A and B are shown apart, each in its own frame.
Chain A
């Protein structure tokens, strides 16, 4: 048991943390509760009025979700989001792991300079790239297509993903490579048979990180897909909903929660990898 004096001394600490936790959780809680109420009660009273009878049935339903998924086209957008994020993440992780290995363990002229360029490009604003690329995309008929946005996301993500995987691969003990090359393994074999299996945890972190980044992206989708609503991801559809149906909270809250469901699931089930990815990203090796 804690002695009372210590408990009193720690009260401000607990209260501060409680305040933070409240501010961090109440907005999302309000969104969740509202998304489950019927439109008339949403417009008639604040969501916090459910608290006195929080668990009494009859006041919640999934009707708003049915509405946004089937009539507002959010179901289609959910699939679009998946169909954009999964291949784009897979392609970029694949290409990044090759490049990371090249930069970490192969010798060639200009390696250091190129890698520094890569580090520099990590922070280049994407706004610098849209205007020259769009006409090329139009000519190649890539605008408004899935392959077009896969390529764009892959390229935009490459500096950071390559950097993260490189940080991990550069830490692999050199002896492993020496014994492999004595055994006559080519770099490609060393890469496939030794480096990739060792790097699985790091690759998983990068994959999750990149996946969430693409899933949550609005800007790139806005630029390369905006003309075509049938390929729009969740973020784009919801942004349009906010513009066109800004006061229909039963739609907006349910829609927002649909877009948050997968990231939250990923976050709670794979938190370990997610956090590891973030830690690897802070420039400290």
Chain B
């Protein structure tokens, strides 16, 4: 009997001592939290809080959710889609249109980046040697101020095609006909020419941006350096190759990174000019179609993640550059 009560009391005692332990824990945690709360610099946080809240809601949370969503199937509603494992990923890397999009993005990345940075560099150096530098720079730079949509209309008109029996209205075909050729449906010339012609629109828009940055860097080079090389008998090409180029390389690499990041996300030009038809699809336009024309949010999420994965190396590069710059302060 006595043993029995003891048996019965023991759990209570255990509970009671657990209770006190828990109470102590609560008190301790409370104190720690209170101390932590006091140590937080609320006034400092108040400055950054609005920005952080917006960024977390609009960028951080959805990025995580999109990665998760890429493993779930299609539904017209946003949630409650079945788990499909790697099915969307299989689609992304095997479907013909997606492969075309990946190939085109690679073409855009190479051609666009080389041409914008290269032309920007050449123009920065050349324009420094002429008296009409300012006006020439303005002309090259103007397209940077207008929208991709506006630029797409401008160039759609340049590439306009009409049958040979009619007068041409697009200047490119006007030129071809004037030289005795047959008019060409430029944007239908798959798979290479039409893609390249779309890339030309991008180059036309962004070369000015590269030129402005590289020109500023070029003007920072002490001119005595170039003079010294010339006095030593170097011709202009060697001055460019052996003096200017190495000095501009760090800026050029920053510019090129910016261009790659921009071009991987290319959307507007393709959306407006061809909507990805005739083998001109790109990743961002495919993502838009899957999500907002076909309502396949799982696939669209996977495609968006591909874009993110392609950009992550440049993200890391930027953070590294920033960290190096901070250490240098």
Contacts and interface: CB of A to CB of B under 8 A. Distances in A.
Nearest to B255: A282
A239 B146 CA distance: 14
B152 interface: yes
B153 A256 contact: yes
Interface stretch (B14-22, B39-47, B226-234): B39-47
Contact of A238 (B139, B153, B213, B275): B153
A20 B140 contact: yes
B157 A99 contact: no
A247 B140 CA distance: 28
Contacts of A274: 145
B212 A275 contact: yes
A132 B41 contact: no
Contact of B300 (A13, A25, A34, A131): A131
B48 A102 contact: yes
Contact of B212 (A42, A106, A279, A283): A279
A219 B48 contact: no
Contacts of A111: 44
Nearest to B140: A24
B303 to A, nearest CB: 8
Given A108-B40, A127-B287, A158-B55, A34 B148 contact: no
A46 B168 contact: yes
A219 B119 CA distance: 28
Nearest to A155: B58
A81 B258 CA distance: 27
Contact of A128 (B50, B141, B254, B304): B304
B165 to A, nearest CB: 13
Q: Which DSSP category, helix, strand, loop or mixed, fits chain B's interface? A: helix
Interface stretch (B106-114, B238-246, B263-271): B263-271
B51 A216 contact: no
Interface string A214-234: 011111001100100000001
A111 B47 CA distance: 12
Interface string B2-41: 0000000000000000000000000000000000000011
A256 B311 CA distance: 31
Given A125-B304, A130-B291, A283-B321, A24 B139 contact: yes
Contacts of A135: 77-79
Given A14-B130, A222-B292, 20 more contacts: A16-B126, A20-B136, A46-B174, A99-B51, A106-B48, A108-B40, A117-B60, A124-B63, A127-B307, A133-B58, A218-B147, A219-B267, A223-B292, A226-B292, A235-B149, A243-B275, A249-B160, A268-B138, A282-B213, A284-B325
B44 A108 contact: yes
Contact of A187 (B43, B62, B139, B292): B43
B123 interface: yes
B225 interface: no
20 contacts: A24-B143, A34-B169, A43-B169, A46-B169, A48-B171, A123-B315, A125-B284, A135-B77, A159-B59, A186-B43, A218-B267, A235-B147, A238-B149, A252-B156, A263-B145, A263-B146, A271-B138, A282-B251, A282-B254, A282-B258
Interface residues of B, number: 103
A243 B300 CA distance: 23
B209 A278 contact: yes
A264 interface: yes
A148 B305 CA distance: 25
Interface string A245-273: 01001001101100110011011100100
Contacts of A223: 292
Interface of A: 10, 13-14, 16-17, 20-21, 23-28, 30-31, 34, 42-48, 95-96, 98-99, 101-103, 106-109, 111-112, 114, 116-135, 151-152, 154-156, 158-159, 162, 170, 186-188, 191, 212, 215-219, 222-223, 226, 234-235, 238-239, 242-243, 246, 249, 252-253, 255-256, 259-260, 263-264, 266-268, 271, 274-275, 278-279, 282-285
B295 to A, nearest CB: 10
Nearest to B51: A99
B308 interface: yes
B41 A260 contact: no
Contacts of A95: 50-51, 54
B268 A128 contact: no
Contacts of B170: 46
B61 A132 contact: yes
A123 B314 contact: yes
Contacts of B78: 131-132, 134-135
B163 to A, nearest CB: 13
A120 B48 contact: no
Nearest to A243: B275
A34 B141 CA distance: 22
Contacts of A151: 54, 58
Given A119-B319, A127-B287, A155-B58, A108 B148 contact: no
Contacts of B60: 117, 121
A282 B152 CA distance: 26
Given A120-B318, A131-B66, A187-B43, A46 B171 contact: yes
Which of A131, A215, A283 has the most chain B CB atoms closer than 10 A to its own CB? A131
Interface string B270-314: 011001000000001001100110000100110111011001001
A192 B317 CA distance: 35
B84 interface: no
B142 interface: yes
Given A128-B304, A264-B142, A17 B136 contact: yes
A73 to B, nearest CB: 15
